[in-house]
A and B are shown apart, each in its own frame.
Chain A
Amino acid sequence: MALTRRRLEVIDPDLCVGCMSCMFACSRRFGDSGLNYSAIRIRSVGGVERGFTVVVCRACDAPSCVKVCPTSALKLRGGGGVTLDSRLCIGCGYCVQACPFGAVFWDEVEGKPIICTHCGYCVDFCPYGVIKVM
């Protein structure tokens, strides 16, 4: 199970320049460009001069998002965090409300959550080593 235990970790948000390359990379996994499918979000800490925070799934051991999912579309992922079975998802958005990190994003096209799979594709596009797969 070594593979599924990999998680994306935020190493040092102080190095983040807010370029959004990670966000575009994540969205690109689905083939399209733009930002609809991104499971990572970079936000300024009240004005860019104070720097950025990286909003991404923290791979919780006992995730709040799973607890509120009424259809079991969200399932525990080995090694922390969750996986989404979108066939079961009814688009209620409870998970979005529940995640304390604000790390469940919304797919405006399908009306379903976007959840980090900890695949690490974004890491290769972060020029400043802010994120890593561990």
Chain B
Amino acid sequence: MPLADEQLARVLYVDLTNRRYRVRRREDLFSKYLGGTGVAVQILKEELDPKADPLSPENVVVMAIGVFTAVYPAASKLVAMFKSPLTGNLGESHAGGRAALSLRMSGFGALVIRGASDTPIYLSVHDGRVEFKDASALWGVRSSLTIGKVLREREPWPGLRSIMRIGRAGERLVRYASVILETYRHFGRLGLGAVWGSKRLKALVLGGKRAIPVADVRGYREAYKQAFEGCLRSPATRKYHELGTAENVIPLNEIGGLPTRNLRSARFEGAELISGERFAQESLARRIACAHCPIACIHIASIRELYPGERYFYVTRHISYDYEPIYALGSMLGVSELEGVLKLIEQVDILGLDAISSGVALAWVTEAFERGELSERETLVKPEWGDWRTYLRILELIVEQPNDFYKLLAQGTEKAAERYGGSDYALTFGGNEMPGYHTGPASHIGYLIGLRHSHLDNAGYSLDQKYLGRAYPDPEALVDELVEEECWRQVLTSLVLCLFVRGVYKPEMISRALRPLGIEMSEEELRDLGREIYREKLRLKMEMGFDPSELRLPRRVLETPSPHGRIEEDYVRRALDRYRSLANSLT
């Protein structure tokens, strides 16, 4: 079926080596896969040699949006797919902000970046035009936030553009470097920042404005209204409006699922002090939204600081907070001071690091230091639980990489633990550092078998919570449930809806919302599409070297009781056996 909006099917292929670009029409991909994850998998299959070195010019980055982008509320994410330098495998990261809207407004449905420039550059894409601009002077600038300010002055389309950039962590190829969007959103996970760094791509600015035709105007307005009301008023999204995801801190701590001090415990005595309630009372300055999302879950705190040595000289800075960074840079490190958590979040943003991976790396360093596997000879400073000032310094050292230890730590916690010991308490899953849920077997099995090794793959943590106080399923049934959920999420991430609105955009709603766009798909067809994309993604991952027989849980997960008690090794083994046979049958 032809798309009502032909421009969505335009894919921009950029070659950084030769500073050239071309545009190809890919109706075939967009009308079949709807966009996002589904389209990105296909393009990556065509463009990327699965054996390529992630930090070589051969790596390819695909960024894609979907048929709902700039059409329905909360279809606010941009998907990036690439080969991850952290895991050596498929990398997929999603970011909010204005990027998705801006890509569609600039007249493209996907952007493919390949090659590498010999000198630093940034890309400016607006109104269908592509410019390669020199970024030599921007390279090495201390803070990624400054880069945003500079480009804001130089680039067109204020209010209708996205400014994405890397920090020094990306330039210096830290394998968990992020890409920062606007000021408060990120492509955090799996090292997209390092891939950009290896391509000497400092920034990407997208902007524009246009009309998107729909096939049935009246039906569109009705479906819009319904989706809008759902996003705004459904109980499924309420917590995101109010305290934001930080609301999770207290309930997770109460059930004993809040990873604390490198998961030596799952309860944090300082939880109250870094709770969503506390953040709201003490420092919440403003709530803002991603483009075209009425929920406004982004919570921005302000900190006011006295200049050292100057009286009556204050600086006020703003930092956004979410549950995950609070976990990773708070409880995981034993930091219970609000100010400390905020400064650590700010530091990872300034440097351009992923907050979750950074926090887990710091936690491993602290424990290894305590156990004597590391000494000051390696770490150069004395890490200690709760001492956020020292952690601020260690984050810089990870970026500076002054010795062999930091060079290795910049490659990820798993790599560092392989060399220095402590793999049992290095909290990584398939090479990726763990998210903040020690809620039971499903969360951990979920990180392990999820194709991104992320908590958003299949929401194992929410299954754990669902089964609290009820009979927990057998490992086989659990894996089936996780995989089924992950298959469905491929549909959501192809339309590139924010996963916070998954309760609003149920299959029935999606099917109804597609109709006015001229796309007829039943609920069952949607589910089938999800399964197909899952299969295709799994295949691609296998080609990149993913081996389900190598999956391994860090021992620490089995030692610290979860809300479901101790996680049994045998349970995990059976679950993984089930997953392997499933994976084999699918590929």
Contact = CB atoms under 8 A, between A and B. Distances in A.
B244 interface: no
B294 A127 contact: yes
Interface string A21-33: 1001001101111
Contacts of B292: 19-21, 24
B293 A19 contact: yes
Interface stretch (B205-213, B385-393, B501-509): B205-213
A109 interface: yes
Contacts of A47: 149, 152, 183
Q: Which of A36, A41, A127: most chain B Cβ within 10 A?
A: A127
Interface stretch (B32-40, B131-139, B214-222, B538-546): B214-222
A42 interface: yes
Contacts of B210: 34-36, 108-109
A51 B285 CA distance: 10
A127 B70 contact: no
Contact of A20 (B211, B212, B291): B291
Given A17-B296, A18-B288, A33 B214 contact: yes
Nearest to B516: A33
Contact of A21 (B73, B159, B184, B285): B73
B211 A17 contact: no
Contact of A43 (B104, B158, B214, B217): B158
B419 interface: no
A33 B294 contact: no
Q: Which of A17, A28, A33: most chain B Cβ within 10 A?
A: A33
A44 B184 contact: no
A128 B295 CA distance: 10
A33 B209 contact: no
A35 B288 CA distance: 20
A27 to B, nearest CB: 7
Contacts of A19: 289-296
B556 interface: no
A24 to B, nearest CB: 6
A84 B104 CA distance: 29
Q: Which of A43, A47, A109, A128: most chain B Cβ within 10 A?
A: A47
Contacts of B214: 31-33
A125 B228 contact: yes
Nearest to B184: A48
Contact of B209 (A35, A43, A49, A127): A35
Given A21-B73, A49-B183, A34 B289 contact: no
A34 B300 contact: no
A33 B183 contact: no
A33 B184 contact: no
Contact of A108 (B209, B286, B300): B209
Contact of A34 (B105, B228, B286, B294): B105
A127 B159 contact: no
A49 to B, nearest CB: 4
Contacts of A17: 287-289, 296
B240 interface: no
Q: Which of A19, A30, A51: most chain B Cβ within 10 A?
A: A19
A33 B220 contact: yes
Contacts of B295: 19
A36 B288 contact: no
B583 interface: no
B374 interface: no
A18 B293 CA distance: 9
Contacts of B184: 48
Q: What range describes how many residues of A lie at the interface?
A: 20 to 34
Contacts of A33: 70-71, 211-214, 220
A34 B296 contact: no
Given A21-B73, A28-B224, A48 B212 contact: no
B182 interface: yes
A51 B286 contact: yes
B442 to A, nearest CB: 33
Q: Which of A24, A34, A44, A125: most chain B Cβ within 10 A?
A: A34
Contacts of A21: 73, 228, 292, 294
A51 B220 CA distance: 31
Given A19-B289, A34-B211, A37-B211, A49 B318 contact: yes
Contacts of B217: 31
Contacts of B209: 34-36, 108
Interface string B314-357: 00001000000000000000000000000000000000000000
A108 to B, nearest CB: 6
A44 B160 CA distance: 10
Contact of B286 (A36, A42, A46, A49): A49
Contacts of B182: 48
Interface in B171-218: 182-184, 209-214, 217
Contacts of B232: 127
Contacts of B105: 34-35
Nearest to B293: A19
Interface in A79-123: 108-109
Contacts of A35: 70, 105, 160, 209-211
Contacts of B152: 46-47
Contacts of A46: 152
Contacts of B300: 48-49
A17 B295 CA distance: 9
Contacts of A44: 159
Interface string B271-295: 0000000000000011111111111
Interface of B: 70-71, 73, 101, 104-105, 149, 152, 158-160, 182-184, 209-214, 217, 220-221, 224, 228, 232, 285-296, 300, 302, 318
19 contacts: A17-B296, A19-B294, A21-B228, A21-B294, A30-B211, A31-B214, A33-B212, A33-B214, A35-B160, A41-B159, A43-B158, A44-B159, A47-B152, A48-B183, A49-B300, A49-B302, A49-B318, A108-B211, A127-B232
Q: Closest 4 A-B residue pairs measured CB to CB?
A: A36-B211, A49-B318, A19-B289, A34-B212
Interface of A: 17-21, 24, 27-28, 30-37, 41-44, 46-49, 51, 108-109, 125, 127-128
Given A20-B292, A28-B220, A34-B70, 10 more contacts: A17-B287, A24-B292, A27-B211, A28-B221, A33-B211, A35-B70, A36-B209, A37-B211, A44-B159, A49-B318
